[in-house]
């Protein structure tokens, strides 16, 4: 019989092998799911894992989904490594989009080149503001940051809906709840014609480098991680837990706000009620599948964006419900949680003793 036996210390091998095994389990369960629904499993896998990368246009669409997921996950990784549980990145994403949209709406034909930098900066400020609300309530009133950040998601969405249905609604938009399209100077430039891939990809890759340097080369990153893993050791070393809280939530909020700005100033080009696309929640999975490491999260963001695009294609080409995207995301998360058991336990064959 098989028995789980505790390891003396976590396995370094399974730290990185566990996500790969979780992906394999997700694929196998996905095949079974396609067969149960009467669909061709080979075609289903092609839709999820080949269609998103088969052409330059498809790769451009892949980056459109991957960029916000990666940027948000980078900020969340800093929070989670600091033992600060920011679950409300979706709200910070929306608030960043609102701030960025407000600045973008001020642009006109006479606005200078580079105006998009102001738009993106506004998005960062909006996300930091919303993350700062959570930090303030945790710092001053010892409120639970999980509940506070999560509840603020719905407040941000209601503010967005109020604006696009009310004062910011486009009077020439045929009564649709959306702002007027942003001017060209307020949009993130694209790399090439015929593709929606834009400079947000460069921003996200720079974020990967910046987080790696912060975590592994700067004292402040070391202080944040020590504070999260060993609070008493951090206190003994003179690190401030209060400063770590504010730093983690402001940086995480700013990253989510930047992602929101890149989204509305990139592929969307205006504010609509469809801005909250669930990236803030999906980025939590990206962060843990990527092992809270900048490089690992880059690969995890690409994988998660495949699920988004694959879910959309499966809906239109195979007649599957839109919720198939969430099914694959959930499968990956639960498979990862199960496979992570192998980090702390090993399987042993034990011969049953006859009595």
Q: What pLDDT shows up at residue 218?
A: 93
The pLDDT tens digits of the residues spanning 282-300 come to 999 999 999 999 999 999 9
pLDDT confidence tier of residue 320, bands split at 50, 70 and 90: very high
Average pLDDT over residues 197-207: 97
Q: What pLDDT shows up at residue 229?
A: 72
Q: What pLDDT shows up at residue 236?
A: 78
Average pLDDT over residues 336-347: 93
Q: What pLDDT shows up at residue 239?
A: 83
Q: How far is CA 348 from the centre of its chain?
A: 37
pLDDT confidence tier of residue 228, bands split at 50, 70 and 90: confident
The pLDDT tens digits of the residues spanning 31-52 come to 999 999 999 999 999 999 999 9
Please determine, for residue 64, whether its predicted confidence score (pLDDT) is greater than 70.
Answer: yes
Q: What pLDDT shows up at residue 355?
A: 59
Q: What pLDDT shows up at residue 2?
A: 80
Please determine, for residue 256, whether its predicted confidence score (pLDDT) is greater than 90.
Answer: yes
Please determine, for residue 234, whether its predicted confidence score (pLDDT) is greater than 80.
Answer: no
pTM: 0.95
In this structure, the chain runs to a length of 355
Structure tokens at 107: 């642009």
Extract long-range pairs of 206-210: CB within 8 Å, 24+ residues apart: 207/70, 207/71, 207/74, 207/255, 207/294, 208/70, 208/74, 208/294, 208/295, 208/297, 208/298, 209/294
In the chain, the percentage of residues whose pLDDT exceeds 70 is 99
pLDDT confidence tier of residue 235, bands split at 50, 70 and 90: confident
Please determine, for residue 353, whether its predicted confidence score (pLDDT) is greater than 70.
Answer: no
Average model confidence (pLDDT) for the chain? 94
């Amino acid at each position: 019989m098989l028995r789980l036996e505790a390891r003396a210390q976590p396995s370094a091998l399974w730290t990185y092998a566990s996500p790969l095994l979780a992906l394999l389990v997700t694929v196998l369960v996905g095949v079974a799911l396609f067969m149960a629904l009467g669909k061709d499993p080979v075609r289903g896998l092609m839709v999820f894992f080949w269609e998103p990368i088969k052409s330059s246009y498809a790769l451009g669409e892949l980056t459109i989904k991957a960029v916000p997921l990666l940027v948000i996950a980078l900020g969340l990784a800093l929070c989670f490594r600091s033992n600060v549980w920011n679950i409300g990145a979706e709200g910070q994403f929306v608030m960043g989009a609102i701030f960025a949209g407000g600045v973008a709406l001020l642009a006109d034909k006479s606005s200078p080149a580079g105006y998009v930098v102001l738009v993106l900066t506004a998005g960062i400020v909006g996300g930091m503001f919303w993350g700062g609300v959570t930090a303030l309530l945790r710092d001053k009133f010892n409120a639970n940051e999980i509940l506070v950040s999560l509840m603020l998601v719905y407040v941000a969405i209601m503010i967005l809906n109020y604006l696009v249905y009310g004062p910011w609604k486009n009077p020439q938009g045929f009564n649709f709840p959306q702002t007027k399209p942003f001017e060209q100077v307020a949009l993130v430039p694209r790399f090439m014609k015929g593709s929606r891939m834009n400079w947000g990809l460069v921003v996200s890759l720079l974020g990967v480098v910046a987080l790696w340097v912060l975590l592994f080369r700067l004292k402040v990153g070391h202080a944040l991680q020590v504070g999260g893993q060993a609070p008493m050791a951090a206190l003994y070393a003179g690190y401030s837990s209060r400063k770590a809280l504010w730093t983690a939530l402001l940086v995480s909020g700013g990253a989510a706000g930047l992602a929101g700005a890149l989204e509305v100033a990139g592929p969307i080009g205006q504010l609509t009620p469809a801005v909250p696309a669930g990236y803030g929640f999906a980025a939590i999975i990206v962060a843990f599948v990527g092992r809270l490491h900048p490089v690992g999260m880059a690969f995890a963001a690409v994988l998660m964006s495949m699920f988004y695009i694959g879910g959309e294609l499966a809906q239109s080409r195979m007649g599957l419900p839109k919720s198939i995207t969430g099914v694959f995301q959930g499968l990956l998360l639960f498979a990862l949680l199960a496979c992570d058991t192998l980090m702390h336990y090993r399987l042993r064959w034990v011969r049953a003793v006859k009595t």
